[in-house]
Amino acid sequence: MSAPIPKQALWSEIADTLAADLARGAYRPGERLPSEAELARRFGVNRHTLRRALARLTAEGKLFPRRGAGVFVADHAMTDYPLGRRVRFSQAVSAAGQTATRRFSRIETRGADAEEAQNLALPPGTPVHVVEGVSLADTTPLAAFRSVFPAGRFPGLPARLGETGSITLALQAEGLTDYTRAQTRIVAKVAGAALAARLMLAEGAPVLRTRAVNVDGTGQPVEYGTTWFAGDRVALTVAP
């Protein structure tokens, strides 16, 4: 007499069903799943059982939670991003067959702190433009960034950014037609709550932080930038 086949746990069946939904595209990368209450009603279970299913999918990297916002679909598409002397976000993303966009969350002018002043070869307190935002490939956030520019050199930069939506085009409009990267430093980090929310990652997810100085043709610094790349979405390639 054959042994009975063990019955699959209910939470595991729910996880399999949701995984099949994800595989067929019922929920897109970056999209929030229905609430726990809605999913519990769908499967006729309590929230404890549902949470076990969601926990398995999170452990498998298919979902990620955002504190206070819900559970979202993870995106595993990888974008190759070269770190060469001339790094342009739009070109790197377009080369991967995706559409590049930037969302600016902060554009302000203030005095440079000691670190910014040192990297831009300016006296501390010199006015600088600080630009922050998120860089996206299609609709997926690839990186959060903070760029600092000498305000005296580019007085109209804030307005240009609003007009063009592009740092490169804004700098061209301010008279800088070309610039190159003088140095880049890469460090592995983990995403805190605020950064994770901006990049649609789970808190504690790996990120790669780069700090770079861009210079004009005479070697004068024109940008000091910090970028936090989503570790599972971007492959950084160091090129000459």
Q: Are residues 89 and 202 in the same domain?
A: yes
CA distances 32 to 47, 71, 98, 133, 205, Å, are 17, 6, 22, 21, 18
Q: How many residues does the chain have?
A: 240
Residues 89 and 134 in one domain: yes
Tell whether 5 is covered by a domain. Answer: no
64 in Cβ contact with 74 (< 8 Å): yes
pLDDT bin (cut points 50, 70, 90) of residue 13 is very high
Same domain (yes/no): 189, 96:
yes
Residue 1 pLDDT: 46
pTM over 0.95: no
Q: Are residues 218 and 137 in the same domain?
A: yes
Report CA 7 to chain centroid distance, whole Å.
42
The count of structural domains within the chain is 2
Q: Where in the sequence is the domain holding 14, given as residue range(s)?
A: 10-73
CATH of the domain at 119: 3.40.1410.10
Are 30 and 104 contained in the same domain?
Answer: no
Confidence of residue 201 (pLDDT cuts 50, 70, 90): confident
Mean per-residue pLDDT, 23-41: 88
CA distance 222 to 181: 10
Angle in degrees, CA 105, 106, 110, rounded to 5? 175
Q: Are 170 and 89 part of one and the same domain?
A: yes
pLDDT (0 to 100) of residue 108: 97
Write down the pLDDT at residue 205. Answer: 84
Pairs from 187-192 (Cβ < 8 Å, separation ≥ 24): 187/211, 188/231, 189/228, 191/228
Express each pLDDT in 139-189 by its tens digit.
788 899 999 999 999 999 999 999 998 899 999 999 999 999 998 899 999
Helices vs strands, H then E, count in the chain: 8, 10
- Can you read off the two tokens belonging to residue 170? 């804004």
- Residue showing tokens 């740092």: 167
Q: Provide the 3-class DSSP secondary structure of residue 88.
A: coil
Least confident span in 14-18, 57-61, 180-184: 57-61
